Structure 1
Amino acid sequence: MNLSDDQIQKIIERAQSAMRDVPAAPHVRDALAGDADTLVLVPGFVPAPERALAVLARQYGKRTQLVFLSDAVFTADETSGCSLDWATQQNELVEMLVRAQHAVLLAPNTALLARMGAGDNAEDFSEALVRRILWGKAVDVLLDFEPPKFRRDTYFARLAEAIDQLTSMGFRFFTYQPCEGTNSGVLALVTEREVVEAKQSGRKTIVCAAGAIVTPLAVDTAKELQIHIERAQV
């Protein structure tokens, strides 16, 4: 049977309409109905995910929902997770970001950070993160590397500038170390600012290095705000 161009076009339009009306996959619906406090967006490959999850648990507790935005999925025994396609499930992701007490972008690659710093978010899920900041809600970024120092005329310089730009927009950065022999997600200096930021973001614990400098004002503020300063084990 031969179909005319008009008939083929109508079939395509009906198929596209049916696809738009398909409800979210069950695992996404479960995530929307869950009671997780912290939403963790996973845009791609995560080095040493068990170390990243340990830092997340220390910072936010265990009521965490992982949302995988690519095919790079890892298993987490005590953390629930689901996969989400930004192109077709934008509303679901936005609803999660509206509900979440904390939102974390986990181990974004350097190209994504550069695009976000340049404001190139039009076709990317990171637009939803910018919206969350505009709503007055925080977005944290857990990096698997220390932000590079400024190096003129290098890619590192552009990456450092992108991170600085995002910080000025309201994104908050902290790190974990995927390699053995390093402390994950710890601070070398704790001041009043870190304590106040922890309180504002709903965290109850600040993890610092065993030999970190903790200012007297930070100690007093932590007592006042009931924030626990924990030194990492060597």
Structure 2
Amino acid sequence: ENCKSFDEIVETMKAFAELNHIGADSVIMGVSYDQNSLAEGRHPNRHVLDQVSTEIPVVAIHASSHMLVANTRLLELTGITAETADPEGGRYGREADGVTPDGYCEEPNAMWPVFGQVQPRQKFDMDQLIIQMQQVYTEHGITTCQEGATTADQLAMFAGFAKKGLLKMDVVSYPMHGEDVDKMLADYAEFDSRDYTGHLRIGGLKMSSTAPAGPHRVDDRALRARRRGRGLLRLRHDLRR
């Protein structure tokens, strides 16, 4: 997020890769870029990230977490080609010919295939990482955070942190609708509470849709939430404006 130009992004990611001895079986990842803060005033593309590496997968994730950019190697591993159609609710950036992917992926349905290649390549000591991340937050006076689209694997990870006493901040989890949320709530019932257990609790469910949800579906989710003593917040976005 501190980079102010494409050149700085390339230099920073190359330095990170060299410092951490990242090889072709891993991935180089940058987070929180904002095109509005870059001198170029636009998103980077695969050609920019190819300057970091053409052999190692490289990904830069937007500050909003709703967009990312992949280098050519990562696009190849993911199988995103000129023949790949835009997914429902998502979009792939294209080059001047209108078909060749430029590495830009917008919204979760376009991003998940990339993450499917990135996540198995990540090599972290997660216990040490969560301790270090919390230090950054607390040094800035932040004592509560949330994971707004929690997967089953992520909830298992957070529950593990809580049970090992590694959470010093309060963490609120919102399991993502589309996962097996009923199983998640059953497996981690001790955290499905208004109170924190080991600094972790489930605060509700994350739902998103690119089309109107039918009344029966909404009513069923609302009823189940009410039975759990949860309030409801309805947000309506008119995308036609």
Structure 2 length as normaliser, TM-score? 0.31
Max radius of gyration: which structure?
1
Tell me which of the two structures has the higher relative contact order, counting C-alpha pairs closer than 8 angstroms and 6 or more residues apart. Answer: 1
